[in-house]
Amino acid sequence: MTMDHLRRNFLQKLVASAVVVPMLSPYRALADADPASTGGNQGTTLRVALMGLGSYAARVAEAMQSCKRARVAGLISGTPSKLQEWGTKFGVPEKSRYNYENFDRIKDDPDIDAVYVITPNALHRDQVIRVARAGKHVICEKPMAVNAKEGQDMVDACADAGVKLLVGYRMHFEPKTLEVVRMRKAGDFGRILFFQGLCGFRIGDPGQWRLDKALAGGGALMDIGIYAINGARYMVGEEPVWVTAQQTKTDPVKFKEGVDETIQFQLGFPSGAVASCLSTYQMNHLDRFFMTGEQGFAELQPATGYGPIQGRTHKGELTQPHATHQTIQMDEMAGILLDGNTPVVPVDGEEGLKDLKIIDAIYAACETGGRQELRLG
């Protein structure tokens, strides 16, 4: 059986099994908390089950060993050997280890508060809905889904179940990124005029799931271009109202139908600010954000890698200390889920849904060659 058949059988099997910080963080990732919504859980630990034990989940699990308010408390995988190995390594008892067929049983596991879904994009919708119906909070890796319709289904399911849905936007807690956001809010750059986001690398193994439309939902835009989309929004501080885009494909064998290789896209904002962005799986050395306003500028390069992020503004170098992104993210998400804290830059399902609407519009613009209007609310 070919790798493509194996991946598709795996996808079909999983879909078929679906049910229809005690104080403000030193990284300033949270806005002032609502006193009425905090206090009851301060000091408690967020107990997280990791779903999909691949390379990024391993990075998250290792980073969580340094968390003050979050710990690995459950595991969900289709590979029994991984459940055994990870369970031993991270101290997860057998009763809190699940596979994709039986993880609905987390409903009866009092030692799990939330599930972090770290699986291929096309699986997110059904898995998040199952977790919500089991009564657990959800953290979902970005992109939240493969299109806005699926994302809306997820937002609605979590709302119906009375659980919170967060998206793994680690950059929303990164210190230098937050300093640029703070400066923009303080008016240090004046009226924002232009943003540029360059995101890309040469992707390797042609057989990986990220190059399979059925699992990834697209190509570079879904995986890496979303950083420029999301970054344009939090750097400029507005929601875009239109998008144009152009697609280039030089290797149709590696990048099959529906899997984008390189897309250039432009965003327009209500104030008149514009963004010019590049998303690619065919070029290295692309990880840069640049923004300019009437009174100053900000540059982050690297802007979205695992760190350390480096940056400067018209006032000089950014010197905030580096800390492991996933450690900060999980501690701050504990504050959001347990204490009702409000992050400076949102990480909820509605935030993820906005990015999906923009992705849908970018693909439509590539297809039609025309400008797409956006209404993100």
27, 98, 116, 142: the active-site residue: 142
Instruction: Quote the CA–CA distance of 182 and 184 in Å, as a whole number.
Output: 5
Cis peptide before 143 (omega within 30 of 0): yes
What gap in Å lies between CA 30 and CA 220, rounded to an integer?
30
- Count of residues in the chain: 377
Spatial neighbors of 95 by CB under 8 A, at least 6 apart, are: 109
Cα 365 to Cα 99, 247, 307, distances in angstroms: 40, 9, 33
Cβ–Cβ under 8 Å, residues 265 and 272: no
Cα separation, 140 vs 166, whole angstroms: 6
Residues 6+ apart with CB under 8 A from 298: 180, 183, 184, 189, 235, 289, 290, 291, 311, 312, 313, 314
d(CA 131, CA 47): 14
Catalytic residue among 227, 234, 281, 363: 227
Opening angle at CA 86, ends 322 and 306, nearest 5:
20
Tokens of 78: 């289709």
Helical H segments across the chain, by residue range: 3-16, 55-64, 80-90, 124-133, 148-161, 175-185, 213-216, 220, 226-236, 325-339, 349-368
According to DSSP, the β-strands at 165-167 and 137-140 are parallel
Residues 6+ apart with CB under 8 A from 280: 199, 200, 201, 220, 224, 261, 262, 263, 286
Q: Is 142 a catalytic residue?
A: yes
Q: Which residues are catalytic?
A: 142, 227
